[in-house]
Amino acid sequence: MQVAQSVDDLEMTVRRRGQRYLARIPQLGLYATGDSLSAAIAALEAKKQSLVDELTAADALDDVKISPPAPVEQMRPLPALGLFAAKGLIVVALVLFAVAYSRYVVQSEIERWSAYKFGAAFWENVETDIIRNAAPSNEMSEARRQRLFDAIHIIVERWRPFVREGTRLFSDQDDTPAPKP
């Protein structure tokens, strides 16, 4: 490849950084800065010409290999689609796990409640308990019975004002005394 003919065809990029401009030719590794766009380009052209002059003087212009510019990386849709599919699968897996866990919890609650006997079996258990408690072998001593009655009377006396007030609040009768004539 002849460098002298292709040096003028190399790609040049210019970027602004703050108040200064940076011009470069990446294939040659040349960089130049300036306060304006034209100054940065002129400085880069001067460096490029100086390099060409030095290589020509050394008769080494043909020895320099200019690498082609790095291709611009194009976004390929297939990897992006694969990433989207992976994220979608993760979300679907989490939703399925949540549904399975909810089903397990609901099913265990249903089994727990079905363990209780309702209907005829329930009333049979109540009847059995009543008959067993009414048996003479389960008779309570008189002292214990009296202590239990005394405790019930104390509880009733403590709660009586609350029950009376609640009854008055929920009754349709007007309990306010009538004015005396």
Each residue's pLDDT tens digit, 18-49: 889 999 988 888 899 999 999 999 998 999 88
Please answer whether residues 49 and 4 qualify as being in contact, where contact means their C-beta atoms are separated by less than 8 angstroms. no
3-state secondary structure of 104: helix
Please give the Cα distance from 24 to 49 (Å, whole number). 14
Phi, psi of 17 (to 5 degrees): -130, 105
H/E segment holding residue 167: helix 142-170
3-state secondary structure of 69: coil
Whole-structure pTM over 0.75, yes or no?
no
Each residue's pLDDT tens digit, 126-153: 899 999 888 888 888 899 999 999 999 9
Task: Take residue 100 and report the two structure tokens written for it.
Answer: 């399975």
- Whole-angstrom CA distances from 71 to 6, 74, 131 are 18, 9, 95
